[in-house]
Amino acid sequence: MENIHSFQERLENHFVLDHHDIGFLYSLSAGAGYTVTDSLLCQQQILQAADVLMARFQKKGQFIQAWGKLGDPKEYRLIIDSLINLPLLFRATEISGDMRYQEVAQKHYQTLLKTVIRENATTFHTYYFDPLTGEPSHGATHQGNSDDSIWARGQSWAILGIPLNESYSQNKQENGAQKDTSLTNAGFPQNYNEIVDVFLTNLPQDLVPYWDFDFNDQVPSDKDSSALAITACGLLEAEKSNAYPAAKELAQGMIYQLGEKYSAKHETVNEGLLLHGVYAHAEGKGIDEPNLWGDYFYFEALMRLANPEWKKYW
């Protein structure tokens, strides 16, 4: 709980919280603490963090602004990573009974599905909106190879983020509403399987993706092991709803490959557990090295496989 107190100080001082990644930060701190201990402090922290995230919601466009000063035309956009931030809002509704959190999460989720995911089930990293009208403008990249390429980790965020959010979203039929033909029987978007297929089709021989799918074994570049760990977690979450065929078996193969070929188990000196990750290749940051999210999702996938009763922190 010592770290929980430090995260409370961060909230009270609003220390580097002008971004949407509050969901990442507080789901894996206060959210994890609440899952394990039912701590009142963790409950309060989830609600406080959710309020900070809610403040970034843009009514014009119906989305949570990712970065920058609110309303800045240069930053009036969402990004695909934000799918993993939304469970914080769903949990805030569960704790408080206040439906505003869930409503904002659902609005952002639906906006993202309509914009960031292309018609061919590939993904943009970011998507801009007109700040005056809220109308969708255009997709672009931030960490991918180009605006039109497929950033590997972005595709992974979709594979994990959709089942995480669907685990909170009630099927409309349960409420007596008319069936939404854009959804699968599991309640997932119809193109979820295609999103997974895009990722699998673009994997190289050793299954660990290059940081962007512009690259392959014939035109190689640096690998991003974290993208495979994230995808494995997504498949294991999707498997709960039978949303993708043989999801568990695929995830097992991915984690086995990471453990055998990409883990630091044979390294004498290393700062991480999962080797050959990428942070922001275009900016020259964190290339071919371990990273926090790679290590985390590798362990989450291992926990999901080792203990089917494990309660996720999201």
For Cα atoms 116, 120, 121, give the angle at the middle one, nearest 5 degrees: 55
Would strands 77-79 and 126-129 be described as parallel, antiparallel, or unpaired?
A: antiparallel
What's the CA gap between 29 and 42, in Å, rounded?
Answer: 8
Angle at 88 between CA 86 and CA 90, to 5 degrees: 75
Cβ contact 138:122 at 8 Å: no
What's the maximum distance between 2 C-alpha atoms anywhere in the chain?
59
CA terminus-to-terminus distance, the chain: 18
φ, ψ of residue 204 to 5 degrees: the values are -75, -175
Q: 7 phi and psi, to 5 degrees?
A: -75, -25
Residues with active-site annotation: 21, 81
In one-letter notation, the amino acid at residue 93 is T
Phi, psi of 290 (to 5 degrees): -65, 160
**Closest C-alpha among 277, 56, 36, 1 to residue 156:** 277
In 3-state terms, what secondary structure has residue 50?
helix
Query: What gap in Å lies between CA 2 and CA 24, rounded to an integer?
Result: 18
The H-assigned helical ranges of the chain are: 2-12, 22-26, 32-37, 40-54, 87-96, 99-115, 152-166, 192-201, 225-239, 247-257, 292-306
DSSP code string of 248-278? HHHHHHHHHHIIIIIBSTT-SS-S-SB-SEE
